[in-house]
Amino acid sequence: MKKLYGVGTGPGNPDLLTLRSVNIIREVDIIFTPNNKGKNMALDTAREFIQDKEVVYLDFPMGEVVKKDYEKAAKIILDRIPEAGKGAFLTIGDPMIYSTFIYLMEELEDQEIHIEISPGIPSFLAGAGEAKVALTTKGDSFILCDEFQEDLLDYGDSLAILKTLRNKEELINTLEENKYDYDYLKKISLEDQRILKNKEEILRDKNYMSLILARKEGKK
């Protein structure tokens, strides 16, 4: 049977790939990745292990992606993996966290293909290590979200908040009012990584590859 691996390439530095992911990328017949206009970070991260292997770019529309788009991409994957061969779909971070792979997997689950997942280091986790901020200690809860709402602060001793561009000022004010410390992280693990703590600097930044780690003041 054909086999597809969902491979998480981590936050962007090649040395944050797991040994398993490297082995998979080396051994598969064909590589799939979403067709990002411009830079393709998953592909860049894995480049040295892909070498001259065939890469198929899967198109997803900008803005809302619907079931039909995933069906189409799933069909391409199924068609392009050779008989009894193997393919890898590369995705930044981890395939089970805010990833296109979750939907592709759903489209493929009743097909004649075996699916396996090779986890990757999510950016918020690498970011916590770089900022030396604990995500969770005994008895704590940690919340990961891409749409912040103030109520989450009732339950999260710490939070990783993705997609902060939309309402960054309001978000930071809410964190301050509720006595949370915060770090703004961008391009984690890459050469031009930045960790910002100054509110004005954070508000000026417009990078979409950014996230905020927040933790209740006084917590370890």
Residue 17 CB, shortest distance to a second copy, in Å, is 6
Contact call for residues 12 and 45 (beta carbons, < 8 A):
yes
The residues, ordered by sequence, that sit 6+ positions from 139 with a Cβ below 8 Å of its Cβ are none
The identity of residue 188, as a single letter, is I
Q: Does the protein bind a second copy through residue 57 (CB under 8 A)?
A: no
Residue 14 CB, shortest distance to a second copy, in Å, is 7
Contact call for residues 128 and 213 (beta carbons, < 8 A):
yes
Q: Among candidates 190, 150, 203, 142, which has minimal Cα distance to 12?
A: 190
CA distance 99 to 68: 17
Please report, as residue ranges, which positions from 149 to 168 form the binding site for a second copy (by CB under 8 A): 151-152, 154-156
Q: Which of 3, 13, 53, 190 binds a second copy (CB under 8 A)?
A: 13
CA distance 145 to 93: 15
- Tell me which DSSP letter residue 93 carries: B
Residue 20 CB, shortest distance to a second copy, in Å, is 4
Q: Does the protein bind a second copy through residue 4 (CB under 8 A)?
A: no
Contact call for residues 77 and 42 (beta carbons, < 8 A):
no
Residue 204 CB, shortest distance to a second copy, in Å, is 27
Q: At 161, which helix (H) or strand (E)?
A: strand 158-162
Count of residues touching a second copy (by CB under 8 A) = 55
Q: Does the protein bind a second copy through residue 183 (CB under 8 A)?
A: no
Q: Which of 16, 50, 74, 185 binds a second copy (CB under 8 A)?
A: 16
Q: Which of 40, 91, 118, 210 binds a second copy (CB under 8 A)?
A: 118
Q: Which of 46, 58, 90, 128 binds a second copy (CB under 8 A)?
A: 128
Q: What six digits make up the tokens of 162?
A: 């993705």
Binding interface with a second copy (CB under 8 A): 6, 10, 13-20, 22-23, 94-98, 102-103, 105-106, 115, 117-122, 125-126, 128-130, 132-147, 151-152, 154-156, 220
